[in-house]
Homo-oligomer: A and B are copies of this chain.
Amino acid sequence: MARPRIKDVARHAGVSEKTVSNVINDYAHVSDRTRQVVREAIEHLGYRVNLAGRHLRRGRTGIIALVVPELDIPYFAELARHVVRAAEERSLTVLIHQSGADRAHELAALAGFGSTFVDGIILSPLALTADDLRDRAGFPPTVLLGELLEEGADHVAIDNEGAAREATRHLIGLGRRTILAVGGRDDAGLGTAQARTRGYRAALSEAGIAYDPAALLPVGSFRMPDGAQAVARALAAGARPDALLCLNDQLALGALRALHEHGVKVPEDVAVIGFDDVEGGRFSVPTLSTVAPDKAAVARVAVQLLQHRIEEATAPDGAESEAQAPQDLVVDHRLVLRESTEGSGRH
């Protein structure tokens, strides 16, 4: 009653194991009659290939890992959905791994279990540093999502700096002058937050608005409670912004709540804009303006690039030196305007 093996199918069909294997893998030179007999035996016994054996023999699993900081941050969940879909189209299965925004976990995913098990990794790093990524020997092919952490790594992202600049310009165009950046950071890091902050500063500078480092509201993580807390604290400290550039939609949704609790009207008193275009922002009160990355494209491009790298890596050794230069792909985004930035100023 144990699960049948290829051997059992072969015996049942009266052919060799290899012939069964040939049928399974659509090898060309199998007569129709043999194919038929084997198919029936497979059907009859309920045979299904054992991936352990195939993996051992072939050296590939057809599985790629997607490593994200937290699945319950909607942006990552939505991204995961797209990645799963894009992978499916290429006959790849996705193993989703949650790093907890923790450097050790991210490293473990890269170097540990994953490397011997998955053909490649799509990594959305939050805590990793460029140094961690430098020594990629022994890692499987990897594509990074988000800002470029390390020259020499493939990565896919939107133009974060440009997007933040556009969003900030839009706020300025509405007549807003005191714009806080929730989640902003102007340290030297290479992350997404820093890129968006650069765009924010660039827009201020273009418009001749003085930059005040206190306008960057630091957050512990990029979730609603952090956004609410940061804004509540700023208001309590006497800040009187007329706009908020929130570095993601979760922060923005938390900010909307905090503003509501303080009796501040959005967009009349304060305009709010976020990043990511998550579903929650399309139904919040008020609905949330946001920078919408083309998530489907991010996923599609990342999977495609990764598959390419995997094939490259498994190619006959002769072509080993053919490895292409790391790619640095930029995906479209657009500004989606909703109620939280409606109208053209106070009235």
Chain A residues packing against B (C-beta within 8 Å): 3, 46, 48-53, 55-56, 59, 61, 63, 70-72, 74, 77-78, 80-81, 84-85, 93-98, 112-113, 115-117, 137-138, 223-225, 228, 253-254, 256-257, 260, 279-280, 282-285, 287
Nearest Cβ on chain B to A47's Cβ, whole angstroms: 10
Question: Would you call B95 and A113 a contact (CB within 8 A)?
Answer: no
Question: Would you call A95 and B95 a contact (CB within 8 A)?
Answer: yes
In the complex, the chain B residue whose C-beta lies closest to that of A254 is B283
What residues of B have a CB within 8 angstroms of the CB of A52 in the complex?
Answer: 52, 55-56, 59, 61, 116-117
Nearest Cβ on chain B to A144's Cβ, whole angstroms: 20
* Most chain B beta carbons < 10 A, residue from A223, A253, A283: A283
Question: Would you call A81 and B74 a contact (CB within 8 A)?
Answer: no
In the complex, the chain B residue whose C-beta lies closest to that of A115 is B48
Question: Would you call A95 and B98 a contact (CB within 8 A)?
Answer: no
What residues of B have a CB within 8 angstroms of the CB of A287 in the complex?
Answer: 257
In the complex, the chain B residue whose C-beta lies closest to that of A62 is B113
For the complex, give the distance between the alpha carbons of A260 and B49 in Å.
55
What residues of B have a CB within 8 angstroms of the CB of A254 in the complex?
Answer: 283
For the complex, give the distance between the alpha carbons of A71 and B83 in Å.
11
Nearest Cβ on chain B to A228's Cβ, whole angstroms: 6
Among B50, B223, B225, B285, the residue within 8 A (CB) of A285 is: B285
Nearest Cβ on chain B to A57's Cβ, whole angstroms: 9
In the complex, given contacts A72-B74, A284-B285, A285-B285, what are 11 additional A-B residue pairs having Cβ atoms less than 8 angstroms apart? A46-B137, A51-B117, A52-B55, A71-B71, A71-B78, A72-B77, A94-B96, A95-B95, A224-B283, A228-B283, A257-B287
Question: Would you call A72 and B260 a contact (CB within 8 A)?
Answer: no
Write 5 A-B pairs (CB below 8 A) sorted by A numbering.
Answer: A49-B116, A70-B81, A77-B77, A80-B98, A228-B283
Nearest Cβ on chain B to A282's Cβ, whole angstroms: 7
For the complex, give the distance between the alpha carbons of A68 and B78 in Å.
14
In the complex, the chain B residue whose C-beta lies closest to that of A105 is B88
Among B55, B61, B71, B282, the residue within 8 A (CB) of A224 is: B282
Given A52-B61, A81-B71, A84-B98, A253:B46 Cβ within 8 A: no
Question: Would you call B51 and A116 a contact (CB within 8 A)?
Answer: yes
In the complex, the chain B residue whose C-beta lies closest to that of A260 is B285
What residues of B have a CB within 8 angstroms of the CB of A49 in the complex?
Answer: 116
In the complex, the chain B residue whose C-beta lies closest to that of A95 is B95
Question: Would you call A138 and B46 a contact (CB within 8 A)?
Answer: yes
For the complex, give the distance between the alpha carbons of A71 and B55 in Å.
28
Question: Would you call A253 and B283 a contact (CB within 8 A)?
Answer: yes
Nearest Cβ on chain B to A296's Cβ, whole angstroms: 12
What residues of B have a CB within 8 angstroms of the CB of A80 in the complex?
Answer: 71-72, 96, 98
Among B50, B115, B257, B280, the residue within 8 A (CB) of A116 is: B50
